[in-house]
Structure formats: structure tokens, C-alpha cells
């Protein structure tokens, strides 16, 4: 009988063509998956933003119940100093130092009381005499949002040195669409806040040429409330370059766009805004630009170019 000889078989390697084919298939699959993953991420952020607005809505209503009125949103304070709606919203819900709203506040950007004598939000409250410190904190309400989740940032954290007419140390509430800013911080864009003037009855973009920060010409909402903030541009872009911060204005810098996109689609007989008896909130959305189709508001709306 002849012996059976088992021959060792050499392992067969992949050819270059086979490897290139597999790699091509993987690249194609990744190319198909990335847009889908981006859509999922964007949808998740939109849901997160709407949840943040629900929390802010509830917090503003708590403020309303406590003080029998919504926070003001005028473009300036009682001393005619630039202090916009987004800043007043943050003070009302968090206080200027995030320790709560002082009940003697009249929404002055310098943090003083109506007489201009008492500093309600001292820069170092722990340095105060214990009795004064305790009295100050007892006069606070809130914060109406958890500090850790409020996404409150100073203007200088968002815009760097380009804070326009505002104080760089002023806090605003930011949306959830965070990105690295020129300040080296990673923040969202400020949430715009507009209080409804229920004594008025119009929502007419034809009035914008005659409107001023102090006179909305009968419009329920005054676009001037945050206009100077919107005009600061896109803080993640570099000034002096094409499309840079110096030239990058938001589309909502056009006030007509503001009135078109806050107009209620349910009322057909006249021009009427959403939430005409309370307030509106606007996030710049995924692209970080106010006045575009991806903006998120505390109402359901349809984008109008």
C-alpha cells in the first residue's frame, strides 16, 4: 500500500485588485452613511433645542407668576444704555451673576437699583460683610433654571472683543448648537427674546422704516429689541476675510425678514404674530445664522424668504 502524503497547502493571500475592491466598497458605504448620520445628529440637536425652549418657557412663566409680568425685552435699559432682550432674559431667569434675580432690579445693565445707588449684583459677593451678603441673597428669586444646564455665557466668551455696544461681561443664554468661537470657548449663539406689547395690535413690516428702539409704531413685537446683537455677525468666522465677522451679517439683520417669519400662519384676516400675548424665543439653529430656514423658535412656523 502506498503511503498517503499530505501536502501542506500555502495560505492564499488577497490580491491587490481584491483589496482595492473591498476598500472602494467601504468608501462608498461611508459616503452613504455620513449624510444620514449628520441628519440624525441634526435632528437630535433640534429635539434638544426644543427641550431647552420648553424649560425656558416654564422658567419665564415662573418669573411671570412671581412678578406679575414677563421680563422686558427693550433694546436699552432705563438709562438708555444698550442692554437687549437676550440679556434681560438671562438676568430675569438667572440674575446677572447667575445667583438669582434681585427683586430690586429694574434691569439696568450696570446692576444698580432704580436710584443708582445700590449695587445689586456685586462682582465678588463673598467679599461683602456677612450681613450684607445674606441680605443680598435673601432678596434673590431663582435661579429659575439650573446653572449647570442653563448654557449661560458672557458676551466676551461668544464674540471675543467684538461685543459692539455691549459689556463683554454680560451674560446671555445660548442655544445648544455649540461650536468653537474666536474666544477659544465652545458655545452656542445667544437666544433672542422678544416680549409682546399687548397694548399694540399690529405686525406690519411696512412700519420698520419709522420704528425706533422706543417706538414700535403699534407693532406687538419690536425687532429693535435684539437688532444690535444680530448685527454683531457670526463670531466663529475671522474678521477681515471673505465672509468674515466684519462682513458676515445675519439674514435677520433685515427687519422685514423678522416680521415675515414671526407672522402667524393661522390668522388669515390680518397680520398677526405668533404668541401675541406672551413672548417669542429664537435660536439661530444648526447653521448659527439668524433668519434662515433651520431657526428654532418656541412656536411652529414656516420659513419665508
Q: What is the pLDDT at residue 297?
A: 96
Asked, for residue 116, whether it belongs to a domain, the answer is no
The C-alpha atoms of residue 75 and residue 72 are separated, in whole angstroms, by: 9
Please report whether residue 252 resides in a domain: yes
Residue 69 located in a structural domain = yes
Q: Please report whether residue 155 resides in a domain.
A: yes
> What is Dmax (Cα atoms) for the chain?
118
pLDDT of 96-152, one tens digit each? Answer: 999 999 999 999 999 999 999 999 999 999 999 999 999 999 999 999 999 999 999
163 domain-assigned: yes
The answer to whether the CB of 213 falls within 8 A of the CB of 76 is: yes
Contact 217, 210 (CB under 8 A): yes
Query: Would residue 98 count as lying in a domain?
Result: no
Decide if 96 is inside a domain. Answer: no
pLDDT of residue 33: 67
Within 10 angstroms of residue 46's Cβ, the number of other Cβ atoms is: 17
Residue 287 pLDDT > 70: yes
pLDDT at 193: 98
pTM of the prediction? 0.86
Q: For residue range 96-105, what is the model confidence (pLDDT) as tens digits?
A: 999 999 999 9
Q: Which has the minimum average pLDDT: 34-48, 94-108, 200-214?
A: 34-48
Peptide bond before 143: cis, by omega within 30 degrees of 0?
yes
**Phi and psi (nearest 5°) for 211?**
-75, 150
Domain that includes residue 164, residue range = 49-89+144-297
CB-side neighbour CA atoms (13 Å) of 188: 26
pLDDT computed for residue 265 by the predictor: 87
pLDDT at 20: 77
The pLDDT score that the predictor gives to residue 302 is 86
Establish if 110 belongs to a structural domain: no
39 or 59, higher pLDDT: 59
Using pLDDT thresholds of 50, 70 and 90, give the confidence band for residue 241.
Answer: very low
Higher pLDDT, 204 or 25: 204
| The pLDDT of residue 183 | 87
Q: What's residue 242's pLDDT?
A: 42
Classified as helix, coil or strand, 175 is coil
Domain tally for the chain? 1
Q: Which helix (H) or strand (E) holds 139?
A: none
Residues 6+ positions from 158 with CB-CB distance below 8 Å:
172, 174, 181, 183, 185, 187, 189, 190, 235
Phi, psi torsion values for 174, nearest 5 degrees: -110, 155
Amino acid at each position: 500500500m502506498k503511503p498517503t502524503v499530505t501536502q501542506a497547502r500555502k495560505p492564499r493571500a488577497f490580491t491587490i485588485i481584491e483589496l482595492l475592491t473591498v476598500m472602494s466598497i467601504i468608501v462608498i458605504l461611508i459616503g452613504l452613511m455620513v449624510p444620514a448620520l449628520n441628519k440624525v445628529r441634526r435632528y437630535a440637536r433640534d429635539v434638544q433645542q426644543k427641550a431647552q425652549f420648553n424649560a425656558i418657557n416654564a422658567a419665564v412663566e415662573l418669573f411671570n407668576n412671581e412678578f406679575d409680568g414677563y421680563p422686558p425685552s427693550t433694546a436699552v435699559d432705563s438709562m438708555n444704555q444698550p442692554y437687549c432682550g437676550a440679556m434681560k432674559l438671562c438676568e430675569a431667569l438667572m440674575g446677572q451673576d447667575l445667583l438669582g434675580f434681585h427683586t430690586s432690579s429694574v434691569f439696568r445693565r450696570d446692576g444698580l437699583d432704580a436710584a443708582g445707588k445700590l449695587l445689586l449684583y456685586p462682582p465678588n459677593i463673598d467679599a461683602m460683610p456677612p450681613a450684607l451678603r445674606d441680605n443680598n441673597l435673601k432678596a434673590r428669586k431663582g435661579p429659575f433654571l439650573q446653572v449647570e444646564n442653563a448654557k449661560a455665557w458672557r458676551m466676551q466668551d461668544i464674540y471675543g472683543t467684538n461685543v459692539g455696544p455691549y459689556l463683554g461681561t454680560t451674560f446671555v443664554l445660548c442655544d445648544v448648537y455649540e461650536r468653537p468661537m474666536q474666544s477659544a470657548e465652545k458655545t452656542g449663539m445667544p437666544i433672542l427674546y422678544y416680549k409682546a406689547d399687548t397694548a399694540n395690535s399690529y405686525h406690519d413690516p411696512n412700519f420698520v422704516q419709522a420704528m425706533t428702539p422706543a417706538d414700535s409704531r403699534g407693532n406687538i413685537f419690536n425687532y429693535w429689541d435684539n437688532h444690535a446683537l444680530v448685527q454683531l455677525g457670526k463670531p466663529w468666522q475671522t474678521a477681515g476675510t471673505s465672509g468674515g465677522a466684519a462682513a458676515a451679517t445675519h439674514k435677520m439683520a433685515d427687519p422685514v425678514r423678522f416680521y415675515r417669519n414671526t407672522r402667524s400662519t393661522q390668522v388669515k384676516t390680518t397680520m398677526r404674530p405668533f404668541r401675541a400675548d406672551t413672548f417669542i424665543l429664537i435660536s439661530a439653529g444648526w447653521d448659527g445664522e439668524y433668519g434662515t430656514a433651520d431657526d428654532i423658535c418656541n412656536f411652529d412656523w414656516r420659513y419665508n424668504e
